[in-house]
Amino acid sequence: MFTPYFLEQVDSTQDFIKTLDPKTPTVVMADSQTAGRGRQGRVWISPMNQGLWMSIAHPNLKNKDFKLTEFMTRVINVIPHQGQLGIKWPNDLYWNNQKIGGILIENIVTSGGEWNWAIAGIGINLNQEKFPDNLPNPISLFQVNGIKSDPVTAAKSLCASLSDFLQTALCNDQQKILEQYQQLLYGRGELCNFSRAGVSFQAIPLGITEQGELLLDRIEKPIQHGELEWKIKTD
Ligand code: BTN
């Protein structure tokens, strides 16, 4: 089980958990963050009690058998949804064409350059009634279903779901998880817009490989994380 830390306010739960230098499974949850971080250096707006802002540290997050696919599937399964919730590869949570959450995995490297530890940051918009205009396509669970959620309850369910999985880092039924992820894959079977190395193109996502790479109809080689930008329809 995780050792929990519940904070009222912190700069970023990612940074706080690193200061703990955890050697056992640890979770840090904050009611608000003043300097929340998203992927690719983006700011993650984290107002008080408006969402699930949490970081977890677990030795098996750096295990070679750790499966981001299963991790994502477990995260999505704790959000009440009826079909329109999906995973925009590799680790964004989408409601139709709008972003409801995301995962940030950060590696901690020792001064000797050795890969030491990994931390997963989870941000899910729960209760926001509106967002700053500069965010491209945000949405909260409240905007979807009209129900306010308690972030602590959501955090506890998520920890319970992730605990077993991280304990073994191996899933009992890889095939089932992969199928679930494929079902949840945002844009699957639809013509989508991408850009790679500055070149824009269209392609149809077909699914992911067992290694979690993205398969596109027009590109033979599976795509690795960070290799392309997936452009979103904003209608
Ligand atoms: C993304 O989609 O870009 C990932 C967003 C991750 C946000 C979470 S909120 C809790 C944790 N602390 C942070 O500073 N970031 C992550």
Tens digit of each residue's pLDDT, the chain (235 residues): 889 999 999 999 999 999 988 878 899 999 999 999 999 889 999 999 999 999 998 877 776 666 778 788 888 888 877 678 899 998 899 999 999 999 998 877 666 766 567 899 999 999 999 999 999 999 999 999 999 999 999 999 888 888 877 776 555 567 777 888 898 899 999 999 999 999 999 999 999 998 889 999 999 899 998 899 999 866 5
- Distance (angstroms) between ligand 1 centre and the Cα of 37 equals 5
Nearest atom (ligand 1) to Cα of 11: 14
- What residue's CA is closest to ligand 1, atom 2? 102
d(CA 65, CA 37): 26
Ligand 1, CB within 6 Å, residue ranges: 12-14, 33, 36-39, 42, 44, 46, 53-55, 92, 102-104, 121-123
Nearest atom (ligand 1) to Cα of 35: 14
C-beta atoms surrounding 84 within 10 Å: 12
Q: pTM of whole model > 0.85?
A: yes
How buried is residue 19: exposed, middle or buried, by Cβ count under 10 Å (0-12/13-18/19+)?
Answer: exposed
Mutate to test the pocket of ligand 1, among 10, 43, 44 (most ligand atoms within 8 A of CB): 44
* pLDDT at position 65: 62
d(CA 203, CA 93): 20
* pLDDT at position 114: 64
d(CA 68, CA 58): 14
- Distance (angstroms) between ligand 1 centre and the Cα of 72 equals 14
Mutate to test the pocket of ligand 1, among 28, 34, 40, 53 (most ligand atoms within 8 A of CB): 53
- What residue's CA is closest to ligand 1, atom 15? 37
